């Protein structure tokens, strides 16, 4: 019998060749065609930070063209291509986070609720698959109030709260900016509907909304970190328990390649481009120096990893996937 070489393995009809080499068994009913499933099975991922059990829960993803980046298009495309990325459509994962402190269940950001792009809106399904019910969420912390972080807080038509027993926490600067009644009149026409929908969602949670100063502690072991620029009151969230720590970046970084290779490049959603770039560089510098474990909202699921520095350029180093918590 001829040994199976690499050319045979890669060649057309290689399955038949291997079957023949293995003893020549023939097709049976056990090899019947299976239906196409068409979806991923994994929508949550757990880790421990000290005594806290953390679960990354996916709300799906969004996608934007590379022109979302405020940088020469050729440079953006070349940078993506150099790392083997899709150069036409850039995915933005939506990685919300549940923190079980033992005393309360805290959700950080609520996804887009399927209202921003239809590829979002899987948070509740994945939350329940992870063993939680929406009524169990005690507190929702918003890193900021963009649609892909806030709109999942209300039902499809906006009339009901998805997390009916939760209190809500957001920085006072962020709430003040988005609550301004004059805001819809100050933004470009294309953004007006988005701003109005955001104001409606804010109204729905208003009676339970607690405004904090950026940088304030929220609960023991959960503190906000002032990281403005992407939005005026954007915060990151520092989680510490025992000797473990996790930094929840929010939207300080948006992409595992572009935000790290070119921290100076902003995206169209960065409301203050200069401040966002400054915040991003300082954040990357500090996290690289401290070797901080990061949970990032838009990076590839489960978006846990560290920042490595090489001169003024950084690299995202994803954490190893662990099957045990
Ligand atoms: Zn976002």
Q: What is the CATH number of the domain that holds 275?
A: 3.60.15.10
- Check whether residue 18 and residue 84 sit in a common domain: no
78 Cα to the center of ligand 1, angstroms: 24
- Residue 325: inside a domain: no
Q: In angstroms, what is the span from residue 298 Cα to ligand 1's centroid? A: 7
Task: Say if 124 falls within a structural domain.
Answer: yes
Tokens matching residue 1: 């019998």
Rounded to an integer, what distance in angstroms lies between the CA atom of residue 299 and that of residue 69?
Answer: 15
The Å distance, Cα 110 to ligand 1 centre, comes to 11
Q: Contacts for 283-291 with beta carbons within 8 Å, 24 or more apart?
A: 283/227, 283/236, 283/249, 283/252, 283/253, 284/253, 284/260, 284/309, 284/314, 285/309, 287/247, 288/314
Rounded to the nearest whole angstrom, what is the distance from the C-alpha of residue 64 to the centroid of ligand 1? 12
Dist CA 307 CA 247 (whole Å)? 11
Q: How far is the CA of 198 from the centre of ligand 1 (A)?
A: 14
Give the pLDDT confidence score for residue 281 in this predicted structure.
Answer: 96
Q: Which domain holds residue 268?
A: 44-318
What's 230's DSSP letter? S
Q: From the CA of 1, how far away is ligand 1's center (Å)? A: 58
H helices within 52-187, ranges in order? 73-82, 123-129, 147-150, 172-179, 183-186
Rounded distance between C-alpha atoms, residue 146 and residue 117, angstroms:
13
In a domain, 38, yes or no: no
Note residues around ion ligand 1 (Cβ under 5 angstroms). Answer: 148, 251
Residues paired with residue 235 on neighbouring β-strands, in sequence order: 226
Containing 107, the helix (H) or strand (E) segment is: strand 105-108
Residue 324 belongs to a domain: no
Q: How far is the CA of 251 from the centre of ligand 1 (A)?
A: 5
Residue 323 lies in a domain: no
Q: Is the pTM of this model over 0.85?
A: yes
In angstroms, the Cα distances linking 250 to 17, 76, 85, 272, 325 are 51, 22, 22, 16, 23
Which whole-number Å values give the CA distances from 88 to 73, 117, 267, 285, in the listed order? Answer: 11, 17, 15, 29
Please count the CA atoms within 13 angstroms of the CA of 157 that sit on its side-chain side: 1
Which residue matches tokens 């996804």?
A: 111
Q: Are residues 25 and 129 in the same domain?
A: no
Q: Which residues pair with 106 in a beta bridge?
A: 99, 139
Q: How far is CA 75 from CA 263, 265, 291, in A?
A: 13, 11, 29
Q: What is the DSSP letter of 250?
A: T
Whether 165 and 303 share a structural domain: yes
Tracing tokens 């065609």 back to the chain, one arrives at 33
My answer on whether 246 and 201 are in the same domain is yes
> Looking at the structure, do residues 229 and 131 belong to the same domain, yes or no?
yes
Distance CA(212)–CA(168), nearest Å, equals 10
Ligand 1 centre to CA of 297 (Å) is 7
Given the DSSP bridges, would you call strands 139-141 and 167-171 parallel, antiparallel or unpaired? parallel
- The answer to whether residue 101 sits within a structural domain is yes
CA of 149 to the centre of ligand 1 (A): 6
Q: 51 and 176: one domain? A: yes
Between the CA of 147 and the centroid of ligand 1 the distance, in Å, is 8
**pLDDT tens series, the chain, 325 aa:** 444 555 544 554 444 444 445 555 555 567 789 999 988 888 999 999 999 999 999 999 999 999 999 999 999 999 999 999 999 999 999 999 999 999 999 999 999 999 988 899 999 999 999 999 999 999 999 999 999 999 999 999 888 999 999 999 999 999 999 999 999 999 999 899 999 999 999 999 999 999 999 999 999 999 999 999 999 999 999 999 999 999 999 999 999 999 999 999 999 999 999 999 999 999 999 999 999 999 999 999 999 999 999 888 999 999 999 999 9
Q: Are residues 2 and 92 in the same domain?
A: no
Inside any domain, residue 39: no
Nearest 5 degrees, angle CA 78-CA 81-CA 87?
A: 90
5 and 87 share a domain?
A: no
Tokens found for residue 183: 């805001």
SS3 195: helix
Q: How far apart are CA 143 and CA 171, in angstroms?
A: 8
Torsion angles phi and psi, residue 11, rounded to 5:
-75, 160
Residues 111 and 12 in one domain: no
Q: Are residues 27 and 77 in the same domain?
A: no
Within this chain, do residues 105 and 196 fall inside the same structural domain, yes or no?
yes
> Distance, CA 209 to ligand 1 centroid (Å)?
20
Note whether 149 and 142 are within 8 A (CB): yes
Give the integer Cα–Cα distance in Å for 52 and 107: 13
Does 259 lie in the same domain as 149? yes
Give how many domains the chain has, as a whole number. Answer: 2
Residue 118: inside a domain: yes
Q: Cis (ω within 30 of 0) for the bond into 302?
A: yes
């Amino acid at each position: 019998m001829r040994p199976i070489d690499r050319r045979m393995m890669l060649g057309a009809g290689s399955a038949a060749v291997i079957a023949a080499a293995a003893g020549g068994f023939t097709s049976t009913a056990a090899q019947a065609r299976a239906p196409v499933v068409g979806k991923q099975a994994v929508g949550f991922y757990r880790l421990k930070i000290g005594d806290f059990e953390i679960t990354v829960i996916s709300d799906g993803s969004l996608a934007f063209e590379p022109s979302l980046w405020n940088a020469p298009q050729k440079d953006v495309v070349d940078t993506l291509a150099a790392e083997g990325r899709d150069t036409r459509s850039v995915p933005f994962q939506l990685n919300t986070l549940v923190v079980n402190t033992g005393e309360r269940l805290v959700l950080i950001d609520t996804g887009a609720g399927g209202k921003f792009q239809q590829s979002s809106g899987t948070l509740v399904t994945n939350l329940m698959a992870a063993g939680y019910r929406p009524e169990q969420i005690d507190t929702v912390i918003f890193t900021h109030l963009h649609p892909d972080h806030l709109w999942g807080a209300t039902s499809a038509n906006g009339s009901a709260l998805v997390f009916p027993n939760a209190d809500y926490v957001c920085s006072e600067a962020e709430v003040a900016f988005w609550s301004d009644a004059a805001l819809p009149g100050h933004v470009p026409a294309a953004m007006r509907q988005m701003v109005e929908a955001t104001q409606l969602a804010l109204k729905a949670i208003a009676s339970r909304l607690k405004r904090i100063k950026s940088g304030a502690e929220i609960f023991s072991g959960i503190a906000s970190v002032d990281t403005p620029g992407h939005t005026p009151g954007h915060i990151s969230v520092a989680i510490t328990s025992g000797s473990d720590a996790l930094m929840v970046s929010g939207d300080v970084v948006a992409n595992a390649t572009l935000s790290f290779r070119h921290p100076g490049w902003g995206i169209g959603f960065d409301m203050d481009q200069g401040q966002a770039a400054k915040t991003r560089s300082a954040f990357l510098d500090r996290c690289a120096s401290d070797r901080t474990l990061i949970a990032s909202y838009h990076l590839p699921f489960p978006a846990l990893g560290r920042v490595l520095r090489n001169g003024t350029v950084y690299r995202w180093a994803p954490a190893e996937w662990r099957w045990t918590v």
